[in-house]
Chain A
Amino acid sequence: MAKNITLPLERETIKDLRAGDRVHLSGTVYTARDAAHKRMFETIEQGGDLPIDIQGQVIYYVGPTPAKPGQVIGSAGPTTSGRMDKYTPKLLEMGLKGMIGKGYRNEEVKQAIIEQEAVYFAAVGGSAALISKAIKEVEVIAYADLATEAIRKMTIEHFPAIVIHDIYGGDQYEAGVKQFRE
Chain B
Amino acid sequence: MRIIQYNDIVEQVSILCQEANVELGEDVMNAFQQALQTEKSETGRVVIEQLMENAEVAVKEYMPMCQDTGTAVFIVEMGQECLIAGGTLTDAINEGVREGYEAGHLRHSIVKDPLGRKNTGDNTPAIVHIEYVAGDSLTLHMTAKGGGAENMSDLKMLKPSDGLEGIKQYILDVVKVAGPNACPPLVVGIGIGGNFERCAYLAKKSLFRPIGERHREAEVADLEEDLMAEINRLGIGPQGMGGSTTALDVKIEVEACHIASLPVAVNLNCHASRHKQVVL
Contacts and interface: CB of A to CB of B under 8 A. Distances in A.
Given A22-B46, A79-B148, A122 B239 contact: yes
Contacts of B57: 129-130, 133
Nearest to B239: A124
Given A102-B239, A147-B119, 16 more contacts: A65-B105, A74-B64, A75-B63, A77-B66, A77-B67, A103-B179, A122-B180, A126-B54, A129-B63, A130-B54, A173-B179, A177-B236, A179-B235, A180-B41, A180-B244, A181-B234
A44 B179 CA distance: 32
B242 A180 contact: yes
A126 B119 contact: no
B47 A124 contact: yes
A180 B105 contact: no
A180 B151 contact: no
A62 B148 CA distance: 12
B237 interface: yes
Interface string A107-119: 0000000000000
A182 interface: yes
B61 interface: yes
12 contacts: A67-B105, A68-B63, A75-B63, A79-B67, A80-B148, A125-B148, A128-B67, A160-B50, A175-B242, A177-B234, A177-B240, A182-B233
A172 interface: yes
Contacts of A125: 66, 148, 180, 183, 239, 270
A51 interface: no
Interface string A70-93: 010011110110100000000000
A124 B242 CA distance: 13
B181 interface: yes
A98 interface: no
A124 B67 contact: no
A28 B169 CA distance: 45
B156 interface: no
B179 A126 contact: no
A3 to B, nearest CB: 13
Interface in B215-249: 233-237, 239-244
A151 interface: no
Interface of A: 20, 22, 35, 62-68, 71, 74-77, 79-80, 82, 102-104, 122, 124-133, 147-148, 160, 162, 172-173, 175-182
**Which 5 residue pairs across A and B have the least CB separation, nearest first?**
A176-B242, A181-B235, A180-B235, A103-B181, A125-B183
A150 to B, nearest CB: 12
B11 interface: no
A64 B107 contact: yes
Given A103-B240, A176-B240, A180-B244, A126 B66 contact: yes
Contacts of B41: 176, 179-180
A182 B231 CA distance: 10
Contacts of A162: 43, 239, 241
Contacts of B151: 80
Interface centre among A64, A124, A133, A172 (most CB of B within 10 A): A124
A80 B237 CA distance: 17
B77 interface: no
A138 to B, nearest CB: 13
Contacts of A132: 63
B239 A148 contact: no
Contacts of A22: 43, 46
Nearest to A149: B119
A170 to B, nearest CB: 13
A124 B67 CA distance: 12
Contacts of B50: 124, 127, 130, 160
A128 B183 contact: no
